[in-house]
Amino acid sequence: AQKVTQAQTEISVVEKEDVTLDCVYETRDTTYYLFWYKQPPSGELVFLIRRNSFDEQNEISGRYSWNFQKSTSSFNFTITASQVVDSAVYFCALIWSGGSNYKLTFGKGTLLTVNP
């Protein structure tokens, strides 16, 4: 069965600190995709990144970076120099080819609070 675990329920940091959100996944399939979404207090889920199982290159986008390690089944997300606007719930999610209808399997989310 496929599963996404975000062990950190809540994280609180002070502005300008770096913060890493952990994501560990389980799947038996060799072809799968991993995603990160941001859900600010307004409620809309905002797509951040998609990574396929064959591409282990890390990615950087501005203050955001992602570390994908198949050896540890992890896809961690780091925010550098955090800002108050980064406060949100962040969801890690997985799609695998063996599942029906290619559904997104979400982790339970991590609530990030960035204090001024």
Partner 1 sequence: DAMVIQNPRYQVTQFGKPVTLSCSQTLNHNVMYWYQQKSSQAPKLLFHYYDKDFNNEADTPDNFQSRRPNTSFCFLDIRSPGLGDAAMYLCATRGDSDYNEQFFGPGTRLTVL
Q: Which residues bind partner 1 (CB under 8 A)?
A: 33, 35, 37, 42-47, 50, 52, 91, 95, 97, 101-104, 106-109
* 50 residue type, one letter: R
In the bound complex, what is the minimum distance in angstroms from residue 4's beta carbon to partner 1?
9
Longest dimension (CA), the chain: 44
Nearer to partner 1, 18 or 54 (CB): 54
In our burial notation (b when 16+ CB lie closer than 10 A, e otherwise), range 86-103 reads bbbbbbbbbbbeebeeee
In the bound complex, what is the minimum distance in angstroms from residue 103's beta carbon to partner 1?
6
Q: Where are the beta strands (DSSP E) in the chain?
A: 3-5, 10-14, 19-21, 24-26, 32-39, 46-52, 59-61, 64-69, 74-79, 88-96, 105-106, 110-115
Alpha carbon distance 116, 105 (integer Å): 33
In the bound complex, what is the minimum distance in angstroms from residue 47's beta carbon to partner 1?
5
Nearer to partner 1, 52 or 83 (CB): 52
In the bound complex, what is the minimum distance in angstroms from residue 25's beta carbon to partner 1?
14
Nearer to partner 1, 68 or 91 (CB): 91
Nearer to partner 1, 15 or 33 (CB): 33
